[in-house]
A and B are shown apart, each in its own frame.
Chain A
Amino acid sequence: MPDHPAERITVADVAKVARLARLDLPDDELEHLAHQLAGMLEHFADVDALDLADVEPMTQPYPLVNVFRSDVVTPGVDRDEVMAAAPSSEGGRFRVPPIIGLEG
C-alpha cells in the first residue's frame, strides 16, 4: 500500500484545515468530515500507477499571456449600489467587528 497521508487523516488535522478555511464546525461534523475526506482521498491512490516524474503540471487549458487594456478611464460599478449590499457600512466604508485584541 502506498503511504498516503489520507490513511492518517485525524480529527485534529481536519480541525486545523477548518481553521485555515475559516469554517467554525462542531466536533461531530469534524469527525464526520475526517471520515469522508479520508474516503475521498483513498481514490487518489489510483494515480500511483502512473509515472509522473517528467510530466509538466497543467494549471489551465489555454496558453495565456499577461493581458493589458489601454489606459483609459471607464465607468466602474456604482459605489452606493455596492455599499447597499454590505451587511454593515458607515460613511462609504465596510464596517466589521473588532479585528485585534480578542482571541480568533
Chain B
Amino acid sequence: MTVRAADVAAAVRAGTTTATELLEQHLATIAQREPEIHAFNLVMTDHAREAAAAVDAKVAAGIDPGPLAGVTVALKDNMCTRGVPTTCSSKILDGWKPPYDATIVTTLRDAGAVVIGKTNLDEFAMGSSTENSAFGPTRNPHDTSRVPGGSSGGSAASVAAGFAHLALGSDTGGSIRQPAALCGVVGVKPTYGYVSRYGLVAFASSLDQIGPFTNSVADAALLLDVIGGHDERDSTSIPQVHPSLTDAITQGVEGLRVGRITDLPEGADPDVQERLEAAFAALRDAGATIVDVQVPAFTFGLTAYYLIAPAEASSNLARYDGVRYGLRVEAADTNAMYGVTRAAGFGDEVKRRIMLGTYALSAGYYDAYYGKALKVRRLIHDDFERAYQHADVLLTPTSPTVAFPFGDKGDNPFAMYLCDTYTIPTNLAGHPGMSVPFGTGAHALPVGVQVLAGTLQEPVMFRVAAALERAMQ
C-alpha cells in the first residue's frame, strides 16, 4: 500500500509525525540511492530543512500549515525558485538564481509542502529520455540500464524511487505522461490554462502545461486541487475555480462512455497493446461502455508538433543572449557575443530545434511550414471535439514501448520523437490527459495507459483513472 499524501498531511497536522521527521527519511533515501539514479540537479537540503521546521513550528503554535503539511515535493528544474539555481539542465543557465518564485512554488509553500529539490530534465524540456541533460542522464529506478523517459525524467524518477511524496513536471508534447508511464507512476497534463505557468521557463507557450507526478490518483487529485486555478500573473490561465478532483474520484464509472480510437496510429508494442486491452476490459467490468470513435487527424500530430513547438521555442529561446543572465562568452562586439554564447551554451537537440523553428518561420517558408502546421492543429482539435460528442474519455497507450536502454534511439532525432506519438495530439488540442500505471510489459517494466478527455473534463478523466487504479489493486 502506497503512502497517501493526504494521510501524510493529516498526520503532520494532527502532530502524530513531524515534517522534519518525514523530510529526514526522504533525505536518507536520497543519500542511499541518488548517486545511482541522478534524479536531481540540486537537493535543497538546507532550504527544505528550514521549510519543514517552519511547518512544524506552525503545528506547535496551533496554526494549520495547510493541505500539504509536511508533504515533500520535487520540482522540475525549469521552475523558478528565488535564490536557488534553476538551470533547465542547460549550460546556458548554469548557476543562474532567479530573482522570483514561480506561482506554484508560492502556492506549495502556502499549502505547507516542503520543496526538496530541483529535478533533472532534457535540456529546456526537449527530449523523451532525459539523455539530453547537460548534467548527465537520469536512470530509471526500475532498471538503471534504461531511461526514465522525458523530458521530466528526474521528477518521474524521484517519485518512483521514493525521494519525494510528489513531484511537478511540465508537459509540452508528453513530457509528464511518457516518463510517468516508463517509471510506473501517475502523471497528469491538465487542460491548457488549468495551472499557472508564471515562473515556468517557456519552451512552446501554446503547448506547455505544469502537472503532477504521484504514486496514486488520489495524490494527483489533491496536488492539482492545490495548484490549479487562476493566476493574474499568467494571462493564459483560465479565470475560473476548478471543481474538486478529490471529490470527483469518489464516483465510479458506471454509465461512462470510454472511447477506443479505431484509426489510432500503429506502432505500440504487443505488450503495451495487451495492457491497453486489459484496461478496456477492466472499465467494462466497472460499468463503463466501450464505444468506437475516429480521430482521423491524430496521425498528423507528430508532424504538426515538430513544426509548431520548434517555431515557438526558437522565439522563446532568443532571450538567452548573454546580456541579462546566464552564460556569456566574451567577443569583440555584441553580435559576435550572441553567436558564440548561444553556440557554447545550448546542446545539440536545442540547437537543432532552434534551427528548425527559425527555418520554419523564415521568409518564404512560413506559409509552407508553420502556417500549414497551424491548420493541421485545427483539424486535430476539431476531430477530438467530434469524438468527445460520442465518448466521455478516450483510452490509448501512453508510450509505444516500455522504458528503453540508454542510446537506443541513436543519432536519429525522429526515432526519439516517435516516443510521443500518442501524447502530442492532446497538447495541440489543449485538452487534458493522464497516464495511469497499469501493470507491466516486457522485462517486467511498467506500462502506462493514457486517459484523454475534453477541455476542463478533468473530473471525468480522474474518475476513469481511479477506476483503472482500483482494478489493479
Q: Which residues 1-20 of A sit at the B interface, judged by CB distance below 8 A? A: 4-5, 9, 13-14, 16-18, 20
Known: A18-B355, A102-B333. A82 touches B300 (CB 8 A): no
Task: Please state if A64 and B235 are interface contacts (CB–CB under 8 Å).
Answer: yes
Q: Which residues 27-69 of A sit at the B interface, judged by CB distance below 8 A? A: 33, 36-37, 39-41, 43-44, 46-47, 50, 52, 55-62, 64, 67, 69
- Most B CB atoms within 10 A — which of A18, A22, A39, A46? A22
Task: Please state if B372 and A22 are interface contacts (CB–CB under 8 Å).
Answer: no
* B 393-436 binary contact with A (CB < 8 Å = 1; else 0): 00000000000000000000110000000000000111100000
> Is the CB of B438 closer than 8 A to any CB of chain A?
no
What chain A residues lie within 8 Å of B302 (beta carbons)?
Answer: 43
Q: Which residues 330-374 of B sit at the A interface, judged by CB distance below 8 A? A: 330-340, 342-343, 346, 351-352, 354-356, 358-359, 362, 364-365, 368-369, 371-374
What chain A residues lie within 8 Å of B459 (beta carbons)?
Answer: none
Instruction: Give min CB distance, A28 to chain B, whole Å.
Output: 13
Task: Please state if A40 and B414 are interface contacts (CB–CB under 8 Å).
Answer: yes
Selected contact of A24 from candidates B297, B324, B332, B340, CB within 8 Å: B340
Q: Which residues 49-104 of A sit at the B interface, judged by CB distance below 8 A? A: 50, 52, 55-62, 64, 67, 69, 77-78, 81-82, 84-88, 94, 96-99, 101-104
Known: A17-B355, A85-B97. A47 touches B330 (CB 8 A): no
- Most A CB atoms within 10 A — which of B322, B338, B375? B375
Task: Please state if A50 and B379 are interface contacts (CB–CB under 8 Å).
Answer: yes
Task: Please state if A24 and B339 are interface contacts (CB–CB under 8 Å).
Answer: yes
A12 to B141, CA, bound (A): 45
A25 to B348, CA, bound (A): 11
Task: Please state if A60 and B362 are interface contacts (CB–CB under 8 Å).
Answer: no
Known: A36-B352, A61-B206. A86 touches B323 (CB 8 A): yes
Q: Which residues 304-335 of B sit at the A interface, judged by CB distance below 8 A? A: 304, 306-307, 314, 318, 321-328, 330-335
Known: A5-B365, A39-B414, A52-B376. A61 touches B192 (CB 8 A): yes
Known: A24-B342, A85-B99. A56 touches B378 (CB 8 A): yes
Task: Please state if A62 and B235 are interface contacts (CB–CB under 8 Å).
Answer: no
> Is the CB of B303 closer than 8 A to any CB of chain A?
yes
Give the number of chain B interface residues (Cβ < 8 Å). 73
A41 to B343, CA, bound (A): 23
Using CB atoms, name the residue of chain A closest to B98.
A85
Selected contact of A87 from candidates B306, B328, B342, B373, CB within 8 Å: B328
Task: Please state if B303 and A43 are interface contacts (CB–CB under 8 Å).
Answer: yes
Task: Please state if A23 and B375 are interface contacts (CB–CB under 8 Å).
Answer: no
Task: Please state if A23 and B369 are interface contacts (CB–CB under 8 Å).
Answer: no
> Is the CB of B236 closer than 8 A to any CB of chain A?
yes
Selected contact of B371 from candidates A57, A67, A97, CB within 8 Å: A57
Known: A39-B414, A43-B414, A52-B372. A25 touches B378 (CB 8 A): no
What chain B residues lie within 8 Å of A58 (beta carbons)?
Answer: 374-375, 377-378, 381, 428
Task: Please state if B235 and A57 are interface contacts (CB–CB under 8 Å).
Answer: no
What chain B residues lie within 8 Å of A14 (beta carbons)?
Answer: 355, 359
Known: A47-B300, A50-B300. A33 touches B381 (CB 8 A): no
Selected contact of A60 from candidates B206, B314, B328, B358, CB within 8 Å: B206
Known: A62-B236, A104-B335. A17 touches B359 (CB 8 A): yes
What chain A residues lie within 8 Å of B322 (beta carbons)?
Answer: 87
Task: Please state if B369 and A55 are interface contacts (CB–CB under 8 Å).
Answer: no
Instruction: Give min CB distance, A49 to chain B, whole Å.
Output: 9
Using CB atoms, name the residue of chain A closest to B96.
A85
A13 to B297, CA, bound (A): 31
Known: A21-B358, A36-B352, A94-B323. A47 touches B96 (CB 8 A): no
Using CB atoms, name the residue of chain A closest to B306.
A40
Using CB atoms, name the residue of chain B closest to A16.
B362
Instruction: Give min CB distance, A38 to chain B, whole Å.
Output: 10
Task: Please state if A46 and B303 are interface contacts (CB–CB under 8 Å).
Answer: yes
Using CB atoms, name the residue of chain A closest to B360.
A41
Task: Please state if B362 and A17 are interface contacts (CB–CB under 8 Å).
Answer: yes
Using CB atoms, name the residue of chain B closest to A3.
B368
- Most B CB atoms within 10 A — which of A9, A47, A50, A61? A61
Using CB atoms, name the residue of chain A closest to B374.
A57
- Most A CB atoms within 10 A — which of B99, B346, B374? B99
What chain B residues lie within 8 Å of A96 (beta carbons)?
Answer: 323, 334, 337
> Is the CB of B232 closer than 8 A to any CB of chain A?
yes
Known: A52-B372, A96-B334. A17 touches B323 (CB 8 A): no
Instruction: Give min CB distance, A76 to chain B, whole Å.
Output: 9
Using CB atoms, name the residue of chain A closest to B351.
A23
Task: Please state if B430 and A97 are interface contacts (CB–CB under 8 Å).
Answer: no
Instruction: Give min CB distance, B44 to chain A, whole Å.
Output: 18
A67 to B235, CA, bound (A): 6
Besides A23-B346, A60-B236, 19 new A-B residue pairs in contact (Cβ under 8 A), listed by A number: A17-B355, A21-B342, A21-B358, A23-B342, A33-B351, A33-B352, A36-B413, A41-B359, A44-B307, A46-B300, A52-B372, A52-B376, A56-B378, A61-B192, A62-B430, A81-B99, A87-B322, A96-B334, A98-B334
Return 8 A-B CB contacts under 8 Å, by A number.
A37-B356, A37-B359, A40-B414, A46-B303, A58-B377, A69-B232, A84-B97, A97-B332
